[in-house]
């Protein structure tokens, strides 16, 4: 059977989708190639959040196509994911060597479509149509059942987004929110744990919107639990005393025996209710880590972005989280240079970063995305000013991060050992509960998949280094 190489751009959702496609292809008899040069099929799983990501993927495909024409005319080339969804046929019109364009609700058709192309039954395939029920097709992602090779795993709980931030193209590329049922998600998590996974990250475009729209109209329950578990579309009918569907899901996953840790990404600040904050104090497996995209520290810009909260409300949420878990690690996303952003607006973002003291922040220069309201807003900020603001904010965030990481030196902390370090396989690596990467020199490899206390000896650039505390 042919070999396949998948290159992934963008977020954790894209990584998870690539895993799902790879598993599907392996199940059909395909092999996974170690490199592009060794592959019969090359698929690029794309991102559309920023213009740079699209240009990078298109440039990559142009190089692959040129090489294929010269050296391997039979290689099959394909785009998947968000850019494929938004551009569709346009990609083949621009790059005629591309054979497959697969949208975000069509990943589960990848194997069948490739079979047809490789057999010569079809020349070019473009499928970006909406498909009802696609959210229930994204769970089989363990390659040949070899989950024991991975200590951590992502589990998609929903697809799509209804938030409609004015800068974001995701609602168009991922569609409206559709949530999987709780029993379905729990069954996948239980399977993962039975095969050696110790930490699960629940994924959604906005995970705190889980269950608010879409899904079955039936109420149901997880075996052995009280009938408080509601399938997504029953939210409006649930009694006011019940937990939100996302917290119900956390409760259900928390009960899985053998699971050590639960994370989730990415929430929306306005989706953090008191029941979710309380879950941090009530559920030991829910780690004290939160990624809360603030995007701006200016109320005026937040309103232009259509974010649905104010600076004051965001700061109030941070205070609640730190009261619940004083050692919680908090990261964020911030956009600089949004249309109409003044120097005063930017200074408010700087002051917010200083006040919150984020452990880390992913800072993005605003990128115009076609068909989004922000793309046509007046006051587009010149690229040079975006670059300057990006640099200034990055310096502030990095300075805060260095102080927070330096504070770990000399402390003992618990990590889940994930395996060899990517940069130095002679060392092992793991993460703290508050999501700090720790690299250490092991006495052996037996710690993989274990919770281990380490003593932090030094701090690098957003990485901690330590020794197993058991060696003291």
What pLDDT digit, counting tens, does each position of 2-27 carry?
999 999 998 888 888 898 899 889 98
Whole-model pTM: value is: 0.84
**Is residue 472 over pLDDT 70?**
no
pLDDT score at 310: 98
Q: Look over the chain and give the mean of its residue pLDDT values, rounded to a whole number.
A: 88
pLDDT band at 153 (very low <50, low <70, confident <90, very high): very high
Q: What is the pLDDT of residues 298-356, one digit of tens each?
A: 999 999 999 999 999 999 999 999 999 999 999 999 999 999 999 999 999 999 999 99
State how beta strands 178-179 and 158-159 pair: antiparallel
Backbone angles phi, psi at 158, to 5 degrees: -165, 165
pLDDT score at 424: 87
Contact 68, 151 (CB under 8 A): no
The residue that leads in pLDDT, 426 or 444, is 426
pLDDT score at 217: 29
Task: Report the C-alpha gap between 170 and 406 in whole angstroms.
Answer: 37
Task: Report the C-alpha gap between 209 and 270 in whole angstroms.
Answer: 10
Q: What is the pLDDT of residues 412-433, one digit of tens each?
A: 999 999 999 988 888 999 999 9
Q: Which of 83, 12, 159 is nearest to 370 (CA)?
A: 83
pLDDT score at 15: 87
Strand partners, 41: 4, 76
136-140, 233-237, 371-375: lowest mean pLDDT where? Answer: 233-237
Tracing tokens 């932090």 back to the chain, one arrives at: 456
Question: How many helices and strands in the chain, by DSSP H and E?
Answer: 13, 19
Q: How far is CA 455 from the centre of its chain?
A: 29
Task: Report the C-alpha gap between 33 and 7 in whole angstroms.
Answer: 11
Q: Quick one: what percent of the chain has pLDDT higher than 90?
A: 73
Provide CB contacts within 8 A for 460, sequence distance 6+: 405
Task: Report the C-alpha gap between 166 and 378 in whole angstroms.
Answer: 13
The number of residues making up the chain comes to 472
pLDDT score at 221: 37
pLDDT band at 137 (very low <50, low <70, confident <90, very high): low
Q: What is the pLDDT of residues 158-199, one digit of tens each?
A: 989 999 999 998 888 888 999 999 999 999 999 999 999 999
96-100, 146-150, 263-267, 337-341: lowest mean pLDDT where? Answer: 146-150
Q: What is the pLDDT of residues 219-236, one digit of tens each?
A: 333 333 333 333 433 333
pLDDT band at 471 (very low <50, low <70, confident <90, very high): low
Rounded average pLDDT over 391-418? 96
Q: What is the pLDDT of residues 41-52, one digit of tens each?
A: 999 999 988 888
**Is residue 251 over pLDDT 60?**
yes
Complete DSSP assignment for 358-393: -SEEEEEE----TTSGGGG-S-PPPHHHHHHHHHHH
Complete DSSP assignment for 40-76: SEEEEEE--SSHHHHHHHHHHHHHHHHHHHHH-TT-E
**Is residue 402 over pLDDT 90?**
yes
């Amino acid at each position: 059977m042919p070999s396949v190489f998948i290159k992934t751009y963008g977020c954790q959702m894209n990584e998870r989708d690539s895993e799902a496609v790879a598993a599907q292809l392996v199940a059909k008899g395909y092999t996974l190639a170690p490199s592009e040069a060794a592959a019969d099929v090359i698929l690029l799983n794309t991102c559309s959040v920023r213009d740079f990501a699209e240009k990078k993927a298109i440039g990559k495909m142009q190089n692959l196509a040129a090489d294929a024409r010269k050296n391997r005319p039979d290689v099959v080339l394909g785009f998947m994911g968000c850019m494929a969804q938004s551009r569709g046929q346009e990609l083949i019109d621009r790059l005629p060597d591309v054979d497959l364009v697969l949208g975000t609700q069509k990943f589960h058709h990848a194997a069948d479509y490739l079979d047809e192309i490789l057999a010569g039954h079809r020349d070019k395939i473009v499928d970006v149509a909406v498909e009802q029920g696609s959210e229930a097709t994204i769970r089989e992602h363990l390659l040949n059942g070899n989950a024991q090779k991975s200590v951590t795993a992502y589990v998609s709980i929903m697809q799509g987004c209804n938030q409609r931030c004015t800068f974001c193209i995701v609602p168009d590329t991922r569609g409206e929110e559709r949530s999987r049922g709780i029993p379905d998600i729990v069954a996948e998590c239980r399977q993962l744990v039975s095969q050696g996974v110790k930490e699960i990250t629940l994924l959604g475009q906005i995970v705190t919107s889980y269950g608010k729209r879409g899904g079955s109209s039936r109420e149901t329950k997880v075996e052995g639990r009280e009938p408080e578990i509601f399938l997504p579309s029953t939210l409006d009918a649930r009694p006011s005393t019940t937990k939100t569907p996302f917290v119900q899901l956390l409760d259900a996953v928390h009960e899985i025996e053998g699971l050590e840790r639960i994370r989730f990404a990415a929430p929306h600040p306005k989706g953090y209710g008191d029941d979710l904050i309380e879950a941090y104090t009530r559920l030991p497996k829910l780690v004290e880590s939160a990624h809360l995209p603030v995007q701006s520290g200016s109320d005026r810009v937040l309103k232009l972005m259509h974010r649905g909260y104010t600076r004051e409300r965001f700061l109030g949420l941070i205070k609640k989280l730190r009261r619940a878990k004083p050692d919680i690690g908090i990261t964020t996303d911030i956009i600089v240079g949004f249309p109409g952003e003044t120097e005063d607006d930017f200074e408010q973002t700087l002051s917010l970063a200083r006040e919150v003291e984020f452990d880390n922040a992913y800072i993005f220069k605003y990128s115009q995305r076609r068909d989004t309201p922000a793309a046509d807003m007046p006051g587009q900020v010149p690229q040079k000013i975006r670059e300057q603001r990006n640099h200034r904010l990055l310096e502030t965030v990095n300075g805060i991060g260095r102080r927070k990481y330096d504070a770990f030196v000399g402390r003992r902390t618990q990590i889940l050992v994930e395996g060899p370090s990517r940069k130095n396989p002679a060392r092992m690596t793991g993460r703290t509960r508050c999501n700090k990467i720790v690299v250490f020199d092991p006495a052996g490899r037996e710690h993989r998949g274990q919770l281990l206390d380490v003593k932090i000896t030094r701090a690098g650039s957003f990485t901690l280094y330590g020794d197993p505390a058991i060696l003291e």
